[in-house]
């Protein structure tokens, strides 16, 4: 996926979360979420980004005169319990946290169609920045012992540096390198030589010299980090 396509998806996800799309356009985006994990992750990223603003809103009890006026302004055909909940900020404050996690995990678990269909993943990892917690990569580990790394956003890259992918499970003596990756490009890694993946297994991407870490373990700062969740 090109940087322009990722930017377009990010803009669409932002409008979806903010509620500025038309009703028809919103329905279209909702129908795409189960089949497009990158779009679902972008939606989850926007919900996570805006959640602090929702938390900062102090609930205000409306006056007794408000709801009758609102009811008069809505035609009977459009009145429904769902619409009233939809427009209630309290509903979104309660639901946004759950949606953030569920949207990412459910969408990623459905897989990404690139050419031929791939086996359903057994583990999934969302790699997020340790600084602002924004998702940067998706990791899928399938029954075919292939690990797929999918970028969620374009990243600037220093010409004299490289990105290196690492993993470590409980009981291992140290992290194991899964090789170098390119910023903004998907990659598939063969993990046949590794022990079976475990829930909560750590994955991280660090900034290293152009040829990778010279000592067989991370030397640079951690750019993205996450733990495996069984699907």
What pLDDT does 120 receive? 45
pLDDT at 138: 87
**For tokens 């089949």, what's the residue?**
35
pLDDT, tens digit (0-9, with 9 covering 90-100), for 109-143 = 444 444 444 444 478 888 888 888 888 888 888 77
Domain map (residue ranges) of the chain: 3-60, 79-114, 121-230
pLDDT at 219 over 70: yes
Instruction: State yes or no: pLDDT of 162 exceeds 90.
Output: yes
SS3 91: helix
Average pLDDT for 31-55:
76
Of the candidates 47, 27, 137, the one whose C-alpha atom is nearest the C-alpha of residue 101 is 47
Q: By C-alpha distance, which of 187, 148, 205, 186 is closest to 1?
A: 186
Tokens of 80: 């429904």
Three-class SS state of 104: helix
The C-alpha atoms of residue 123 and residue 227 are separated, in whole angstroms, by 10
CATH of domain 121-230: 2.60.40
Strand partners for 227: 202
DSSP assignment of 108-150 equals HHT---SSSPPPPEEEEEEEE-TTT--EEEEEEEETTSEEEEE
Number of neighbours of residue 43 by Cβ within 10 angstroms: 27
Task: Report the DSSP pairing between strands 229-230 and 121-128.
Answer: antiparallel
Query: In this predicted model, what pLDDT tens digit does every residue of 167-203 receive, in sequence order?
Result: 999 889 999 999 999 888 888 888 888 888 888 899 9
């Amino acid at each position: 996926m090109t940087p322009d396509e990722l930017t377009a998806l990010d803009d669409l996800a932002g409008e979806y979360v903010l509620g500025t799309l038309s009703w028809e356009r919103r329905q279209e985006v909702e129908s795409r979420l189960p089949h497009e994990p990158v779009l679902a992750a972008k939606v989850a990223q926007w919900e996570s980004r805006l959640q602090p603003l929702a938390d900062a809103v102090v609930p205000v009890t409306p006056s007794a005169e408000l709801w009758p006026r609102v009811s008069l302004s809505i035609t009977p055909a459009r009145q429904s319990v769902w619409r009233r909940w939809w427009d209630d900020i309290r509903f979104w404050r309660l639901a946004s946290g759950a949606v953030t996690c569920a949207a990412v995990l459910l969408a990623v678990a459905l897989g990404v169609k690139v050419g031929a269909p791939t086996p359903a993943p057994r583990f999934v990892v969302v790699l997020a920045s340790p600084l602002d917690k924004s998702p940067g990569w998706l990791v899928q580990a399938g029954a075919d012992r292939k690990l797929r790394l999918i970028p969620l956003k374009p990243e600037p890259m220093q010409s004299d540096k490289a990105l290196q992918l690492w993993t470590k499970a409980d009981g291992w003596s140290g992290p194991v390198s899964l090789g170098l990756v390119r910023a903004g490009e998907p990659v598939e890694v063969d993990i046949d030589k590794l022990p079976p993946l475990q829930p909560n297994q750590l994955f991280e991407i660090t900034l290293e010299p152009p040829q990778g870490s010279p000592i067989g373990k991370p030397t640079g700062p951690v750019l993205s980090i996450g733990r495996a969740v069984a699907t």
